[in-house]
A = this chain, B = another copy of it.
Amino acid sequence: MQYTPTNTTIGFIGTGVMGKSMAGHLLKAGYPLHVYTRTRARAQDLLDAGATWQQTPADMARACNAIITIVGFPADVESVYLGPDGLVRNACRGSHLVDMTTSSPQLAGRIFKEAEARGLHALDAPVSGGDVGAQEARLSIMVGGERAAFDAMLPVFEKMGTSIVYQGSAGSGQHTKMANQIAIACSVMGVCEALAYAKKAGLNPQSVLESVSSGSAASWQLSNMGPRMLAGNFAPGFYVKHFIKDLGIALSSATEMKLDTPGLSLAKSLFERLAAQGGADDGTQALFRLYDR
């Protein structure tokens, strides 16, 4: 079985920066789409484009057979899935539930088990690629759960991303995303320190960016965030507060696995310092502020 526009009613919970673009692609592809989000106004564009509003996750669960969530924090995921009015208790047998929030691997495991006990199929499928990746349907989607459920959802994932990889059993999508965030955290820190060094040394940072982007230091963060840092553009593509949440999950998972990750620990502490100084609602590139003074 695969979810195509003729056999599917998609429910979409969470129409923030990422979710809104992602749900829009599904609607355009012809999938009947129901939406729910905390602040109804944020779903208005989708409603205008033909989506159906649902009052609660429970109503959503009863109306749809493939439900996607992308909300803020693990606590939100827990309440949407496992609360009394949540998806697991109210979904119809055989439905698929896909959490695309970056959340805890352990919670993904719990949701999978509780869903399974009720004849539901849960996947964890967090994404990378930022607001631009969501808009252009070029996300990297990292999926954990049962292979058959992955196969069923694949046509839907293909409307939102270009790199869609099955990573293994429940929680594996989240674990993969944690590896992704660890690499990003260190990468952003390196870009900040390199550009701050260049400025302090009296170099022209644009020329340095040109040289450094062409060799072994090249990275997505350098090419995409370097110019924003130098321009003092700290508008959020990805919120510092959400990144701190991700790094906290990664660090506690690493600690549980007895893996020492000093780079991750250091980067997390720097982002926390930035948040404490009022940067929680900035984009991650605002880390440059800690250095450039």
Contact = CB atoms under 8 A, between A and B. Distances in A.
Interface of A: 105, 127-130, 133, 139-140, 142, 162-163, 165-168, 172, 175-176, 178-187, 189-198, 200-204, 207-208, 210-212, 214-222, 224, 238, 250, 253-254, 257-264, 266-267, 270, 291
A140 to B, nearest CB: 4
A166 B254 CA distance: 43
Contacts of A222: 183, 219
Contacts of A139: 215
Looking at chain A's contact residues, the main secondary structure is: helix
Contact of A196 (B190, B219, B259, B270): B259
A267 B211 CA distance: 22
Contacts of A193: 182-183, 186, 261, 263-264
A264 B263 CA distance: 10
Contact of A219 (B203, B204, B219, B261): B219
A183 B229 CA distance: 14
* This chain: copies in complex: 2
Given A184-B216, A263-B267, 5 more contacts: A172-B203, A183-B222, A197-B259, A262-B270, A263-B266
Nearest to A129: B215
A224 B216 contact: yes
Contacts of A189: 186, 263
Contacts of A267: 263
11 contacts: A133-B216, A168-B203, A168-B207, A175-B201, A180-B211, A180-B212, A180-B216, A182-B197, A186-B193, A197-B261, A263-B267
A263 B261 contact: no
> Which one of A139, A203, A207 has the highest number of Cβ atoms from chain B below 10 Å of its Cβ?
A203
A178 B197 CA distance: 8
Q: Which 8 A-B pairs have the closest CB atoms?
A: A186-B190, A128-B215, A163-B214, A219-B219, A140-B215, A183-B217, A183-B194, A140-B214
A221 to B, nearest CB: 7
Nearest to A198: B179
Contact of A165 (B211, B219, B260): B211
